[in-house]
Chain A
Amino acid sequence: MPSSSNILNNLSEYKRHAFTDSGVSPLAIPGDSRHLVVTDSDEHDEEGHIVEDAETRVNMVNKRLFKKLPLIRQEIEPPYLYGDTKPDIVIIGWGSTYGVMKEAVDVLVKDKSIAMLHFSEIYPFPSTEKFDYLHVLNNARLTICVEHNATGQFARLMRAETGYEFKEKINKYDGRPFTLEGLSGEMNAHIRRL
């Protein structure tokens, strides 16, 4: 990417939140040039000044929500599939359960077709363009969502974003992390019922 000052040198007037076709405004660094960089946590106009008029509000929401967010979605990492590439059993999780889920797959993969699907970025929710994780889930006989909360927050997010509902859930909410023995024990209880 060309340095910001090259683009900005050709501008007579800089607007930090300028409307562009892509929705992304040129980025100037305060102090790098004579251009002033103005921004606001409240709704603002193209220059970055606080506004309350409805028209600018709608245009700014259109810029952020309908132009920028789809671009961000393209850069979101798809979930990581570890273990069997065409698994019968998939355990799904996010964040800090990565290690224990991976170990559980290492233990169980010896005599079962099993894999882990781990989400590290969930907003905007990853599209299936880079990797069709829904295909993996739909072809599995058993899908278990492993979460450190009582309500299955990720399972609900998954259903809201994709319509997919996990077949089983393992929720741990005693304030302690999963252990390998505990998790693989609970997984085995589900697997035995297959």
Chain B
Amino acid sequence: MPTLEDYRGQKTTWWPGCGNFGILKAFKDAMIELGIEPHQITVVSGIGQAGKFPHYIKCNTFNGLHGRTLPVATGIRLSNHEMLVIAVAGDGDCYGEGGNHLIHTIRRNIKVKLFVHDNLYMTIRYMDSLKVRHLLQAWRE
């Protein structure tokens, strides 16, 4: 059975308190609970903070181009039907840059699991911490 240590990845460059940490922890817990070994999955991602996700776990990884997460995931599913393929994208990467791919991947229904990080659409990357804090506060209120 895999342990948390088996899934330990690179040191993160996310900001302290970033919501992505929660997703990371939940993901590792789920894999351990399901008894899935790192070599049995491939995690595909695009560009952005969510795009760095597979580096922070340990697994087969394809960190490709912005918005092109699902085409790569489709290719992997086509070439290896046994492989569990998980696609990770930020909301900008998935709905903006790669919105067309999302629609076609839904239509093809290729059994890829897609996780979209709700990052308040492009804000984390481009705004300084103070602005983000204000925004988060306003959003919570």
Chain A contact residues, CB within 8 Å of chain B: 30-31, 33-42, 48-50
State whether the Cβ of B83 lies closer than 8 Å to any Cβ in chain A.
yes
Interface SS of B by simple majority: mixed
- Check if A31 sits within 8 Å of B80, measured CB to CB: yes
Task: Determine if B58 and A49 form an interchain contact, defined as CB atoms under 8 angstroms apart.
Answer: no
Q: Write out the residue numbers on chain A whose beta carbons fall within 8 Å of the beta carbon of B80.
A: 30-31
User: Are A36 and B63 closer than 8 Å at their CB atoms?
Assistant: no
Cα–Cα, bound, A35→B37 (Å) = 11
- Whether B38 lies near A49 (C-beta < 8 A) is no
Q: How far is the CA of A148 from the CA of B80 in the complex (A)?
A: 41
Query: A42 CA to B52 CA in the complex, in Å?
Result: 11
8 pairs of A and B residues whose beta carbons are closest in the complex: A30-B60, A38-B61, A40-B63, A34-B39, A37-B60, A31-B83, A49-B55, A41-B64
Q: How large is the interface on B (under 10, 10 to 19, 20 to 34, 35 or more residues)?
A: 20 to 34
**B65 in contact with A37 (CB, 8 Å):** no
Using CB atoms and an 8 Å cutoff, list the residues of chain B in contact with chain A: 10, 37-40, 42, 47, 52, 54-55, 58-65, 76, 80, 82-83
A82 to B42, CA, bound (A): 48
Q: Are A36 and B82 closer than 8 Å at their CB atoms?
A: no
Question: B39: which A residues are within 8 A, CB to CB?
Answer: 30-31, 33-36
Central interface residue in A30, A37, A40, A50, by most chain B CB within 10 Å = A30
Closest to B56 in A: A49
What is the bound-complex CA distance between A38 and B10, given in angstroms? 12
Shortest distance between the CB of B6 and any CB in chain A (Å): 11
Which B residue sits closest to A40, measured CB to CB? B63
Q: B52 to chain A: which residues have CB within 8 Å? A: 50
| Identity of the chain A residue whose Cβ is nearest the Cβ of B62 in the assembled complex | A39
Q: Are B60 and A31 in contact (CB under 8 A)?
A: yes
Question: Complex Cα distance A36/B10, Å?
Answer: 14
Residues of A within 8 A of B60 (CB): 30-31, 36-38
Which of A30, A31, A33, A42 is the one whose CB lies under 8 Å from B63?
A: A42
Instruction: For B84, give the chain A residue with the smallest CB separation.
Output: A31
Residues of B close to A35: CB separation below 8 A: 39
C-alpha gap A34/B41 in the complex (Å): 11
* CB-based contact A36/B64 at 8 Å: no
Instruction: Report how far A30 CA is from B39 CA in the complex, Å.
Output: 7
A36 B38 Cβ-Cβ under 8 A = yes
Q: How far is the CB of A29 from chain B (nearest CB, A)?
A: 8
**Chain A residues positioned under 8 Å from B64 (CB to CB):** 41
Q: Whose C-beta in chain A lies nearest to the C-beta of B63?
A: A40
Cα–Cα, bound, A31→B42 (Å): 8
Query: Is there contact, CB below 8 Å, between A50 and B63?
Result: yes
The minimal Cβ–Cβ distance linking A50 to chain B, given in whole angstroms, is 6
